[in-house]
Structure 1
Amino acid sequence: MRPDPWTWLMVPLSLLLALVVELLPFPQPLAQLQPPWLLLVVLYWSILQPAILGMAGAWLMGLVLDAIQPSPLGTHAALFTLVVTPVLALQRLLRTLPVAQQALWIAGLVFLYELGELWLGDRLTAGRVTAHDFLPVISTLMVWPLLRVLLHRCERCLS
Structure 2
Amino acid sequence: MTSKFIYIRTAQIRGLILLTFFLALIADSMNLYGETLLFLPPFTLLILLYWSGHFLDRTYITSAFILGLMCDGLYQTTLGSHALIYVSLTFMMLRQRGRFKGYTALQQGFFISFYLLVYQVISFIFFSPVLNQNDAISYWLMPLSAIIIWPILAFLLRQGTFQATESSE
Count residues with an aligned counterpart. Answer: 155
Return 5+ residue gaps in structure 2 as ranges.
Answer: 1-6
Measure the CA separation in 1 of the matches of 2:103 and 2:86. Answer: 22
Q: 1:49 to 1:55 in 2, by over 3 A?
A: same
Matched to 1:147, the amino acid is L
**Aligned-residue offset at 1:50:** 4.5
User: Residues 8 and 52 of structure 1 are in contact (CA less than 8 Å); yes or no, is this contact kept in structure 2?
Assistant: no
For 2:92 and 2:9, the matched residues in 1 are separated by 21
Give structure 1 stretches of 5+ with no counterpart.
none
Match of 2:155 among 146, 149, 159: 149
Quote how far apart the aligned CAs of 1:108 are. 0.3
Match of 1:70 in 2: 76
Structure 2 matches for 1:112-151, cutoff 5 A?
A: 112-123=118-129, 130-151=136-157
**Are the counterparts in 1 of residues 10 and 55 from structure 2 also a CA contact under 8 Å?**
no
2:105 match: 99
Which residue does the alignment assign to 1:36? 42
Paired amino acid for 2:40: Q
Partner of 2:23: 17
Alignment of structure 1 residues 54-65 onto 2, 5 Å:
54-65=60-71
Report the Cα distance in structure 2 between the residues aligned to 1:14 and 1:50, rounded to whole angstroms: 18
- Stretch deviating more after TM superposition (33-42 or 4-13): 4-13
How many angstroms does 1:56 deviate by?
1.5
Task: Return the alpha-carbon distance in structure 2 between the equivalents of residues 40 and 50 of structure 1.
Answer: 17
Could you tell me the TM-score, scaled by structure 1's length? Answer: 0.88
Distance 2:79 2:104 in 1: 36
**RMSD (Å) for aligned C-alpha atoms:** 2.1
User: Cα offset for 1:132?
Assistant: 2.7
Deviates more, 1:79-88 or 1:115-124: 115-124
